[in-house]
Structure 1
Amino acid sequence: MKIQRPMRYALIGLSALICHSALADFTATPTEARAIAKEAYLYGFPIVEMYKTLYTQAVDKSGPNFKAPFNQIGNTAMVFTPKDTAFVTPNSDTPYSFVWLDLRAEPVVLTLPPVESNRYYSVQLIDLYTQNFDYLGTRTTGNKGGNFLIAGPHWSGKTPAKIDRVVRSESDIAYALYRTQLFSTEDLSAVKKIQQGYSVTPLSKFLGDSSVKQASPIEWPKPEPQMSETPDLFRYLNFMLAFAPAQGSEKDVLKRFATIGIEAGQPFDPNALNTEQRQALEAGIADGKAEFAEFKKTKVDTHKVSSGDLFGTRQHLKNNYLYRYAGANMGIFGNSADEAAYLGYFVDNQGRPADASKHDYTLHFNKGALPPANAFWSLTMYDGATKLLVDNPLNRYLINSRMLPQLKLDADGGLTLYVQNASPGKDKESNWLPAPKGPFYGVLRIYLPKPEVANGQWKLPLLTPVDL
């Protein structure tokens, strides 16, 4: 079978984009530019944050977080620790596998092996907007395995034989993030064997067709410090948008962005901004950050907006750029609501920020009221400053449902966890989730959540402070 080739277009590196001394058209007034910059910052931040991970995992071969080149799989055969810094709020219950997909020349085929029925696994498919455009694995395709074709926006071929499903991405570059449940430390060898069964094959090779030409090389710009916090973000955004064809629902917003020089594949040199333009863009970025801070305080921390609202398809998010920004800021690459519920512990039961230098805390689940999951649940601790896992003498970064046999139940059958910096004492250490000596947050992940999570029937217990 021959592969129908996609339309090709030239992609150029960032150095070429900024070699001109002038910006692309900047026609907005300062007042207009500030408002547009706010919107563009919220829109572009997730895309640029995603680029940081792309670069460290698939481009920078000498870096500590490199996983594999494009269209090859990189497996992590151990759980995440505080030494892993590639992205914030990582999950340490499910060893990851990583595939950055370049779909410009042709689709790729992801092959999954059969997995035992009691083990959760998934492949989260994420486009360059950080939208979860589909899933493979336990919930959607089952544990029987199969061959799944991932195609970019320009491919128009027919579904080949032996392909179980075709999945389309809005962007030519996409991310496949695998999670394989780890039952215990002794289970690592079983997880490694499953990971060895994951494979990635270009469609031409899958079909035995050698006529497909490789896509042109890409000049990947090196990330720079603070690139997501200043007008530098917009030059990386222009570069990334060249891999993501414009969507009809974003016609008007992209037209507004063009008036401050934001346009796919066009030059954006922050050094070419005059003082008034730079101040307008910086003020707009500050406005975006302020809107998020208020949103987090009044909506996220109070659980009026859940993680399920922040992650998902374009249809689910409805182009809500504040929501997409919030998801990327607090825990990029979070799962969609049907796959997992994420419940954050950012404040205590009195609404005060969680800080283990000021308080010890308890978290109590009533008898029969543990998190309702069809797969499993896990509570993970993060440093409030770095958003990474917390180093501690027990090397314990989470407490999950697989650990229940080792936890001590209360006399009434409930479960009390001790969330604090210092040990609560040897008799309580089995239930201790170590916190940093300062600000922290916890994330309760419920994989394949039962309906009572979404409908509110199950109530999330709150952190209760205990004076030091």
Structure 2
Amino acid sequence: MRFRFTLPLSPDAPRLPTSAGAALNSMGHQAQLSDHRLTVGVAPNVDTLYSLAWLDLDAGDFYLETPDFGPRYYSFQICESDTRTAAVFGQRTEGAHAPAVHIRRAGGGERSAPGYTTVTCDSRYVMIVGRILVEPTVSDDTDLVRELQNQIILRGPACDSCTTEADSPDLVVLDRNAEIFDPTGFIKSLENVLKDMNLDDLPGDIRHAVELLGMHGTPVSLTEDETAAVSAGLRDGFNMIEHHVRSLGRVANGWAINDNGSEFGSDYLLRATVAHAQIFVNPSTEAIYPVCELDSEGEELDGRSNRYQLVFDRDNLPPADAFWSVTMYHKHGLLVDNALGRYAIGDRTTSIKHGGGSTVIRIQSSEPDEGPDNWLPAPPGPFRLMLRLYSPREGRWVPPAVTRL
């Protein structure tokens, strides 16, 4: 994912306005909300503009300063390479103005910096994820958010290590499916990750596997039988992850709800599933992300010939103090191209009509007979819904089931 955002072979190449990619050790900003053209990462939101930076902490320490956001929702999440959250700052925790932040790697750099809140990370490579809410009811609000983005300051070492990554073009251009299913591609990617880690930092069972394979610092060569075994293991592992999307955390009304957020502990299947379906989620105090692939009868959501609805009664709206939304994705996590240009419906959707205080969302691949106001366009095939509740209230809220019409 880091390579796809930083583009080591051409770090200054032009990017889509929906991309927040930038060279390593630099901050990139989305100029437009995410749409179906954005294919880097998985399950982007369409509520906020992203500001992203991948940092090499072995190059030195970094310093982040942000402007006054007033009452607008914003957050800045500092993510470890294994998708844990090292820290998050934002409207919920800090009010209008977040502290200046000093980011360092454990065992290196300054232990603290006067006037800064220090965040110490375990990983060599970390990502800053900034999210700033865009209000669709405010004319030209995207431009106002862009002005705030332009006031974000990131200071630190220049991208000298980009050259090192560019020296391995075969790894930089490696297809994502090759990383997942091809034994050679998988091992090559894993070796790249391990070279920046100490064996002692790995959990015991993973360290044992690495030592057994002789992977740390030594290229791995597999026999034909070993290659077949690794290939089968990769396929089995991927199938487990795909299946677990429907059951991560607690399951209610067809929704899988991860109440642990990015606090995975030793639950490696949960970590892998979240990375596959959501990746770099916030801590659950900042946001929760219920996922739905099944209707009220336990059947897979599929827009080929089915029509659905999702009804939020007025006394059971998503309990979020910042905002909530329901976003449509292809089953593999990309936004769905549609003539309406609508990728989500939420509490700030201006066109939606409410009946008796309830919010009824119509979900299908063709426009409903009653018109597009409450329509969330689906693809003509399997799909996944994701709810987002930012600044969620306490309690174990249960979303209503998606019902087939």
- Residues 178 and 166 (structure 1), Cα distance of their counterparts in 2 relative to 1, 3 Å cut: same
Q: Higher helix fraction: Structure 1 or Structure 2?
A: 1
Equivalent positions of 1:361-380 (< 5 A) are 361-380=308-327
Whichever residue aligns with residue 390 of structure 1, its letter is: V
Identify the match of residue 34 of structure 2 among 63, 80, 83.
Answer: 80
Q: What whole-Å deviation, never above 9, does each CA across 1:350-404 have from its counterpart, x for those lacking one?
A: 01110011211011111221101010001111112x421111111111112112x
Check the 8 A contact 1:128/1:244 in 2, yes or no. Answer: no
- Residues 217 and 224 (structure 1), Cα distance of their counterparts in 2 relative to 1, 3 Å cut: closer
How far the C-alpha of 1:77 sits from its partner, in A, is 1.6
Aligned to 1:202: 156
How far the C-alpha of 1:191 sits from its partner, in A, is 0.4
Aligned to 2:281: 334
- Residues 308 and 247 (structure 1), Cα distance of their counterparts in 2 relative to 1, 3 Å cut: farther
- Give, in whole Å, the separation in 2 of the partners of 1:251 and 1:133: 22
How far the C-alpha of 1:266 sits from its partner, in A, is 3.3
- Give, in whole Å, the separation in 1 of the partners of 2:119 and 2:36: 34
SS at match of 1:97: strand
Aligned to 2:340: 394
Whichever residue aligns with residue 197 of structure 2, its letter is: A
Check the 8 A contact 1:417/1:432 in 2, yes or no. Answer: yes
Aligned to 1:463: 402
Q: Percent identity at matched positions?
A: 28
Equivalent positions of 1:231-250 (< 5 A) are 231=183, 232-248=185-201, 250=203
Aligned to 2:353: 408
Q: What whole-Å deviation, never above 9, does each CA across 1:298-343 have from its counterpart, x for those lacking one?
A: 556944852333x42xxx3112211110011111222221111101
Whichever residue aligns with residue 306 of structure 1, its letter is: I
Whichever residue aligns with residue 329 of structure 1, its letter is: H
- Give, in whole Å, the separation in 2 of the partners of 1:74 and 1:57: 14
Q: Higher strand fraction: Structure 1 or Structure 2?
A: 2
Identify the match of residue 121 of structure 2 among 158, 162, 169.
Answer: 169
Whichever residue aligns with residue 120 of structure 2, its letter is: R
Aligned to 2:374: 431
Aligned to 2:293: 346
Identify the match of residue 82 of structure 2 among 129, 137, 143.
Answer: 129
Whichever residue aligns with residue 313 of structure 2, its letter is: N
Q: What whole-Å deviation, never above 9, does each CA across 1:108-135 have from its counterpart, x for those lacking one?
A: 0011111112x11111111111111111
- Give, in whole Å, the separation in 2 of the partners of 1:436 and 1:348: 16
Using the size of structure 2 for normalisation, the TM-score is 0.89
How far the C-alpha of 1:196 sits from its partner, in A, is 0.7
Equivalent positions of 1:256-271 (< 5 A) are 256-263=209-216, 265-268=217-220
Check the 8 A contact 2:335/2:343 in 1, yes or no. Answer: yes
How far the C-alpha of 1:146 sits from its partner, in A, is 3.1
- Give, in whole Å, the separation in 2 of the partners of 1:176 and 1:299: 25
Q: What whole-Å deviation, never above 9, does each CA across 1:189-222 have from its counterpart, x for those lacking one?
A: 110011011110128x9xxxxxxx9669523432
The reply to whether residue 282 of structure 1 matches residue 231 of structure 2 is yes
Whichever residue aligns with residue 75 of structure 1, its letter is: H
SS at match of 1:130: coil
- Give, in whole Å, the separation in 1 of the partners of 2:43 and 2:250: 16
How far the C-alpha of 1:58 sits from its partner, in A, is 9.0
Q: How many residues align?
A: 391
Whichever residue aligns with residue 460 of structure 1, its letter is: P
* Structure 1: segments with no counterpart, 5+ residues: 1-49, 206-212
Using the size of structure 1 for normalisation, the TM-score is 0.78
Aligned to 2:173: 223
